[in-house]
Structure 1
Amino acid sequence: MLDDVDRRVISLLRADSRTPIAELARQVGVNRSTVTGRIEKLVAEGVIEAFTIRLANDVDRDAIRGVAMVSIAPNRGRDAVRAIRGYPEVEQLHSTIGEWDLVVHLRAISLSEFDTVLERIRAVPGVVDTRTSLLFNSLTG
């Protein structure tokens, strides 16, 4: 079970996985050995599956981007979110109210990789249904 320190470390690493341990410790308000131990534990337990990079938009302009709407079975939300959050293709993950429980923003290097991550999301225990839209051109900025 993740506590507040784990969640804060994950959040900071998600924003920039290159953040030095000393800076993570300062921002979380714990010592460096605590942060190091937490990261090692999170990796060993499979909570953190990989440390990734974010490319400048002009570098990965050919990436496949999309939005997956996900419906979750009752009482399965936490486990499903934990599983989906760990996929490196997931750029953003939002809860919502209505027909769909989650909105997942995805980015992949190819249609094949995009299809693979969708299959992985659909196989997550508790996922009942999905609907996906590919994104083409950004109309902002």
Structure 2
Amino acid sequence: MTVKLDALDHKILVELLCNARIPVAELARKVGLSKTPVSLRIRHLEEIGLITGYRAILSPVKLGLTHVTYLEVSMSDTREAALQQFNAAVRAIPEVEECYMIAGGCDYMLKVRSRDMADFRRIMAEKISTLPFVNNTSSHVSMEAVVEQNLTLG
């Protein structure tokens, strides 16, 4: 279900995307409303599921996780039960930052973040290669992050 936003909801979301910890009074001033209507609009956006939560965004560089590898995974079995087992198992690997089931030359695309190539090799050997129904993998090492961002509104 697509949500229709009016101009004020759009302004509120843009501000929250920039700073989710902005005080309601400051947000109200920026969007031209008083605190109560802004609070009600935020609560409504949360209730309808447009705002799904708030979180801290950590710096991978400061954590020493500068090595990014995109990994194509081909499955030996693509029946629903096998896919569900793989999905549950891959969610348990903290180094997998993103995982998408895709259409194309492979079945899944994973974004794996690690300290370096040796760390990635360990993750592959100990965790990813042991995932259920993995038939084949192909790795693509990132040399530089050109665009890395959270969802924005145009």
Which TM-score tier does this pair reach, normalised by the shorter chain? 0.5 to 0.7
Q: Equivalent residue for 1:112?
A: 118
Q: Equivalent residue for 1:33?
A: none
1:124 has 2:131 as partner: yes
Distance 1:62 1:117 in 2: 13
1:98 has 2:104 as partner: yes
What TM-score, normalized to structure 1?
0.56
Q: Equivalent residue for 1:16?
A: none
Distance 1:134 1:58 in 2: 16
Distance 1:74 1:140 in 2: 32
Q: Equivalent residue for 2:88?
A: 82
Distance 2:65 2:92 in 1: 23
Distance 1:86 1:133 in 2: 22
For residues 74 and 62 of structure 1, do their structure 2 counterparts lie closer, same or farther at Cα, with a shift above 3 Å needed?
A: closer
Q: Equivalent residue for 1:63?
A: 66
What TM-score, normalized to structure 2?
0.52
TM-aligned CA deviation for residue 114 of structure 1: 0.8
What is the aligned counterpart of 1:136 among 140, 143, 154? Answer: 143
Distance 1:105 1:95 in 2: 12
Runs of 4+ in 1 over 3 A off after TM superposition: none
Read off the aligned partner of 1:129 and give its amino acid letter: N
Aligned residue pairs total: 91
For residues 97 and 110 of structure 1, do their structure 2 counterparts lie closer, same or farther at Cα, with a shift above 3 Å needed?
A: same
TM-aligned CA deviation for residue 122 of structure 1: 1.7
TM-aligned CA deviation for residue 60 of structure 1: 3.9
TM-aligned CA deviation for residue 112 of structure 1: 2.0
For residues 112 and 65 of structure 1, do their structure 2 counterparts lie closer, same or farther at Cα, with a shift above 3 Å needed?
A: same
Structure 1, unmatched stretches of 5+, are 1-26, 29-52
For residues 103 and 117 of structure 1, do their structure 2 counterparts lie closer, same or farther at Cα, with a shift above 3 Å needed?
A: same
For residues 62 and 124 of structure 1, do their structure 2 counterparts lie closer, same or farther at Cα, with a shift above 3 Å needed?
A: closer
Q: Which has the larger radius of gyration?
A: 2
